[in-house]
Amino acid sequence: MEGIIPCSANSLPLTPITFLERAAAVFADRISLVYGNVRFTWGETLQRCTKFASALVHLGISRGDVVAVLAPNVPATYELHFAVPMAGAILCTLNMRHDAAMISTLLGHSEAKIIVVDHQYLHIVKAAIEIMSKMTGAEELPRIVIVQEFDHPSSNINGFDSASDDLEYESLLNTGTLDFEIRRPIDEWDPISLNYTSGTTSRPKGVIYSHRGTYLNTLSTILLNDMSSMPVYLWTVPMFHCNGWSMTWGVAAQGGTNICQRNVNAKEIFANISLHKVTHMGGAPTVLNMIVNAPITEQKPLPGKVTVMTGGAPPPSNILYKMRELGFLIVHCYGLTETCGVATFCQWKPEWDSLPDDKQAKLKSRQGMQHIGVEGLDIKNPITMESVPADGKTMGEVMIRGNTVMSGYLKDLKATEEAFNGGWFRSGDLGVRHPDGYIELKDRSKDIIISGGENISTIEVESVLFNHPSVLEAAIVGRPDDHWGETPCAFVNLKDGSNATQEEIIEFCRDKLPHYMAPKTVVFKSDLPKSSTGKIQKLILKEEAKRSAAVYGDRISLVYGRVQYTWRDTLERCTRLASALVRTGIARGDVCDSFEQVAALVPNIPAMYELHFAVPMAGAVLCSLNTRHDAAMVSTLLSHSEAKIIVVDYQLEHIVTGAINTMSERKEKLPRVVIIQEYDQPPSHIDRPGSALEFESFLASGELDFEIRRPRDEWDPIALNYTSGTTSRPKGVIYSHRGAYLNALSAVLLNDMCSLPVYLWTVPMFHCNGWCLTWGVAAQSGTNICQRNVTAKEIFDNISLHKVTHMGGAPTVSNMIINAPISEQKPLPRQVTMMSGGAPPPSHVLYKLKALGFRIVHSYGLTETYGPGTVCSWKPEWDSLPQDKQAKLNSRQGLQHIGLEAVDIKDPVTMKSVPADGKTMGEVMLRGNTVMSGYLKDLKATQEAFNGGWFRSGDLGVKHPDGYIELKDRSKDIIISGGENISTIEVESVLFSHPSVLDAAVVGRPDDHWGETPCAFLKLKDGCSATEEEIIKFCREHLPHYMAPRSVVFRELPKTSTGKTQKFILKKEAKAMGSLPKRVSKL
């Protein structure tokens, strides 16, 4: 597709390093980490990580070298997750339960150059080094860096020898420099970490994670945890286990606070939750067990709901029930070291709320469906690779595919090829798929017990054992049997003060299971062998036994008046529509220039939403057109895009007819027309010209078994959006699948959009694909409330009726809401988060919206940045400020969202950043993966936009001392009067505060003396009046006199359909007015 330029403005390697940089920019003074009496802010954490990365490089660490760590959940372990990759190296986190022999093996296999070790584990590392020294030369041994406790000087470390080559962590950190240039990955597939499998097999393997995989898995884990901004995360998951299930990076991404604790016990867990108001934590079922069985004296009431992500073995239903009673919300996940940790989760469905507790718990203990970062999850026959029936009975192997699956096993090509055989990652776990699509684990393939030809799921037997009132822990393994081959053997750890006999345990199981599944022998042990991640090491128990003998299918996806669809309906309709498009000749582009366009001129109705999925599913590019365009403009855009099909709403059919006629006169190739009727109208009621098709009939002609045409490359185009018309020459902006995916997730996160939102469509879906929330609402399995017309009455009615949680809109929508007649307003059933974009909303508008119950998320972006690119992240310290000050702060454009690499204010000539003084003006520039691929067929404009390696927005702004940016004007809209730069935005902000003004726009009017002067165009509120003299006087009282308008015109303001004022029309009108008389001009 001509016009695409991959460059540093729009193509940067994905890396979690950016999460820390953004946290330090947005949340610099917020506490990042707490460990006993130790506190660090995000600004300090970035500084410490930068210095340690610098120190590593000074020690000789090169790109691709391995730095190992053997340490508990202390600050140093957290910092290493950023510092090591910032040095261009690979972090290898080691299991603290390993002995010296295993540590020596892993250090040798990984070829670690440095081992960072906590002082309590120094003796293990010393012993491991001693073993290595007998097998290799001293020059190949890793250098030791010792982490002391923060209140202990290095001389007090047991085993520390100041005369040796050993280094002390804090001292080494302090040798680093803050001006160190971070070594970003050259390629996002570069390795970031090396994790050895947890020890449930006898031969651990080194699992390689990429920057790309960890970035995507981190965002996915945040979303499945419903983790809003600024969480408080308690570290009960070992950071060495899959990098803390990606939450080492995730907490930084959300600007949260890490509560570190060296030891995990019930008393510390409850104490930390109470003291720090913890919002999230994680842990294997052993941690849950520890919590529910804690003595009453150690338990404390929770200050708020605590979300607990649990993984490993499925938690027994009685544990889930007890955790809920204590106030914990359980998110049950499943994954492996090879999937960057979490890969699936059991998404709760509201209809389960009315079920009995035991049924709820049983449903929740399933492994569910894949998270947003995993492409596919299936239960397959491992030989034929066919999917098993979704009957909840037929067993197969759990297989996973997607970008969050490991890159491979270090130095083990054979094992990597075996794991990926058939194009899926073979987990080795056995499971079933239920009719609702959710999977449920039955066992590890190596743990299944085959007794007399019957497959016995050890998980099912263990679940029964956990329900016994005396059982604390249980594990089932196969015991050799001369008659049956093997029989179930139970290893049981009883609760303190409880007792039970083998006979009682066996009888209890026989009462609840088929007799062949009940244990034949029971071994009582005071402690079952576990890995440090809480997994029971069944290989040890086996040896002992041997010696002794999709998700939301039925949830409403879309509401439009009386029309409702479920997500299952929506997938089926989109699949059929994609099939129908292909049948009409829509082809997938084999090269970039040959992707075919499907255009749409449609308001916010179901068909428009469906096209956002159906068109890319057909391998084509969606070109959504502004519904305010006239026939001449539509004909121009259809020609420029070379659209093969145009889908049009029946109310706009006359525009397309006019456009087609114009194209026909130019003898151009004409697109096929598909007309959408209103949903309660039969097709015959539409007057269809020529060969036009009717949408529903067209959709019905498609096949459900259509094979979706997925992109061959994530840089393939997914959408074409024309600039909104604030300039006289719209340009075709190309979006990629990659950019749309990342911006959709970023938009979800910046809106704090938890799972199952209800989104009201007040943003036109044609505008930057609804700010990417067409895809974002699907990512969160939400409900789309569509409305053809946007009026205050419909907004309030829909919010009240559907309990809307989120919406969006330009300031004109905000204005419409606050100025709605009292008779149309309704009390909000809950707080509604509203993302506002376009022109900066005046502070008084923000204040009034807040008073009505709306929470405003002020974002800024352009068509070229997929919509929202920055967000004004709220800071808790602003809560105590006066309302007008709060509103003024919230009207700034803030900082980049999580998907954008950077935003800056630069001198457009020198490309130097302007001072962060809130005064010096420069151009807003952005760079990152959510910047457009380029302008269609306009290489020159693309090169100009990306000149200097940044996207040049054309907007002028300042950077404040806190790093937040604030727009001052469009570069083309700035008024230069007598050598002074006048920000039209500032003048408009004052005008909006006038009690009679509903809408305002300021442009430059030619002036013989000053060059140009401000001219205000105003629309007054109904029933209000004001004169030109009153307006000018009001402005002169609130602004420097040279900034006040010299002329005022009262009229309706011309708008794009996104609510932007079309200033080029007003500029022409002001120009036609000519210069003011000299006497007036010199006032």
Reported in sequence order, the residue ranges of 148-244 that DSSP labels E, i.e. its strands, are 167-168, 191-196, 206-210, 232-234
**Cβ distance 962 to 1022 under 8 Å?**
no
pLDDT at 550 over 70: no
What's the pLDDT band for 1080 if we cut at 50, 70, 90?
low
Q: Is residue 650 part of a domain?
A: yes
Could you tell me where the DSSP H helices lie in 59-178?
Answer: 75-86, 100-110, 122-133, 169-173
How many domains does the structure of the chain reveal? 3
Q: Is residue 596 part of a domain?
A: yes
Q: Is residue 170 part of a domain?
A: no
Residue 590's pLDDT is 42
Mean pLDDT of 223-238: 95
What's the pLDDT band for 943 if we cut at 50, 70, 90?
very high
Instruction: Quickly tell me which residue has 């066992």 as its tokens.
Output: 443
Q: Is residue 164 part of a domain?
A: no
d(CA 842, CA 542): 69
Reported in sequence order, the residue ranges of 352-419 that DSSP labels E, i.e. its strands, are 369-370, 374-380, 396-402, 408-409
Residues 6+ apart with CB under 8 A from 317: 358, 361, 362, 365, 463, 467
Residue 611's pLDDT is 98
**Residues 572 and 705 both lie in one domain:** yes
Query: Residue 260 is encoded by which pair of tokens?
Result: 């570190």
Of 234-248, 676-690, 696-710, 751-765, give the lowest mean pLDDT range. Answer: 676-690
Residue 502's pLDDT is 84
What's the pLDDT band for 513 if we cut at 50, 70, 90?
confident
Percent of residues, the chain, with pLDDT higher than 70: 90
**Residues 540 and 576 both lie in one domain:** no
pLDDT at 199 over 50: no
DSSP 231: -
Instruction: Quickly tell me which residue has 């286990």 as its tokens.
Output: 241
Ordered strands of the 341-345 beta sheet: 38-41, 31-35, 257-259, 232-234, 280-283, 306-310, 328-336, 341-345, 369-370
**Cβ distance 829 to 799 under 8 Å?**
yes
Residue 104's pLDDT is 92
Query: Residue 953 is encoded by which pair of tokens?
Result: 């927005």
DSSP 4: B
Residue 345's pLDDT is 93
**How would DSSP label each residue in 457-521?**
-HHHHHHHHHTSTTEEEEEEEEEEETTTEEEEEEEEEEPTT----HHHHHHHHHHHS-GGGS-SE
Residue 483's pLDDT is 56
**Cβ distance 983 to 969 under 8 Å?**
yes
What's the pLDDT band for 447 if we cut at 50, 70, 90?
confident
pLDDT at 945 over 90: yes
Mean pLDDT of 301-324: 85
pLDDT at 540 over 90: no
d(CA 887, CA 874): 11
Of 135-149, 179-193, 663-677, 823-837, give the lowest mean pLDDT range. Answer: 135-149
Going from the C-alpha of 1054 to that of each of 837, 1018, 1047, 1063, the distances in angstroms are 18, 11, 18, 8
**How would DSSP label each residue in 585-611?**
T----SSGGGPPEEEEE--SSHHHHHH
Mean pLDDT of 504-508: 92
pLDDT at 793 over 80: yes
d(CA 631, CA 661): 9
Query: Residue 890 is encoded by which pair of tokens?
Result: 């919230």
Residue 839's pLDDT is 62
Q: Is residue 1007 part of a domain?
A: yes
Reported in sequence order, the residue ranges of 936-1030 that DSSP labels E, i.e. its strands, are 951-959, 965-970, 975-977, 980-982, 997-1007, 1011-1020
Residues belonging to the chain: 1083
d(CA 301, CA 282): 18
Residue 486's pLDDT is 74
What contacts 24+ positions apart, CB below 8 Å, involve 793-800? 793/820, 793/824, 795/760, 795/762, 796/820, 796/824, 796/825, 796/826, 797/826, 798/760, 799/760, 799/826, 799/828, 799/829, 799/832, 800/826, 800/827, 800/828, 800/829
d(CA 828, CA 73): 43
Final residue belonging to a domain, choices 515, 548, 581: 548
Residue 591's pLDDT is 38
**Higher-pLDDT residue of 568, 725:** 568
pLDDT at 1057 over 80: no
**Residues 506 and 610 both lie in one domain:** no
**Residues 533 and 651 both lie in one domain:** no
**Residues 516 and 609 both lie in one domain:** no
- Each residue's pLDDT tens digit, 468-491: 999 998 999 888 765 566 788 999
Residue 417's pLDDT is 96
What's the pLDDT band for 254 if we cut at 50, 70, 90?
very high
Mean pLDDT of 767-795: 95
Percent of residues, the chain, with pLDDT higher than 90: 67
Q: For position 689, which CATH number holds?
A: 3.40.50.980
What domain range is 698 assigned to? 566-710
Final residue belonging to a domain, choices 710, 740, 775: 710
Kindly report the CA angle at 250 between 245 and 255, in degrees rounded to 5?
150
Give the three-class secondary structure for 850. helix
d(CA 20, CA 82): 8
Q: How many helices and strands (H and E) does the chain possess? A: 34, 52
**Residues 1061 and 1016 both lie in one domain:** yes
Q: Is residue 984 part of a domain?
A: yes
**Residues 518 and 632 both lie in one domain:** no
Query: Residue 365 is encoded by which pair of tokens?
Result: 């203990």
Residues 6+ apart with CB under 8 A from 670: 660, 663, 664
Query: Residue 875 is encoded by which pair of tokens?
Result: 């800071």
Residue 798's pLDDT is 96
Strand partners, 195: 93, 207
Count of beta carbons in the 10 Å neighbourhood of residue 739: 27
Mean pLDDT of 501-516: 85
pLDDT at 651 over 90: yes
Mean pLDDT of 1053-1073: 84
**Residues 596 and 693 both lie in one domain:** yes
**Residues 577 and 706 both lie in one domain:** yes
Q: What is the CA radius of gyration of the chain?
A: 31
pLDDT at 851 over 80: yes
Q: For position 1073, which CATH number holds?
A: 3.30.300.30
pLDDT at 999 over 80: yes
Residue 1's pLDDT is 74
Q: Is residue 1009 part of a domain?
A: yes
- Each residue's pLDDT tens digit, 145-186: 999 997 665 545 555 565 578 999 999 999 999 999 999 999
Residue 725's pLDDT is 44
pLDDT at 317 over 80: no
Going from the C-alpha of 508 to that of each of 455, 643, 741, the distances in angstroms are 21, 69, 51
Mean pLDDT of 974-980: 75
**Residues 700 and 576 both lie in one domain:** yes
Q: Is residue 219 part of a domain?
A: no
Residue 200's pLDDT is 37
Look at the alpha carbons of 1033, 1036, 1042, 1043 in this order and tell me if their dihedral is positive or negative: negative
Mean pLDDT of 937-955: 93
- Each residue's pLDDT tens digit, 801-824: 999 999 998 877 888 899 999 999
Average pLDDT across the chain, whole number? 89
**Higher-pLDDT residue of 730, 1011:** 1011
Which helix (H) or strand (E) segment is 426 a member of?
strand 425-433
Mean pLDDT of 658-681: 90
C-alpha dihedral (193, 196, 198, 200), degrees to nearest 10: 150
CA atoms within 13 A on the CB side of 417: 4
Final residue belonging to a domain, choices 654, 686, 710: 710
Closest CA to 216 of 902, 898, 933, 901: 898
Count of beta carbons in the 10 Å neighbourhood of residue 1073: 13
Mean pLDDT of 408-433: 94
**Residues 543 and 570 both lie in one domain:** no
**Higher-pLDDT residue of 431, 977:** 431
Residue 202's pLDDT is 42
**Higher-pLDDT residue of 99, 228:** 228
**Residues 586 and 680 both lie in one domain:** yes
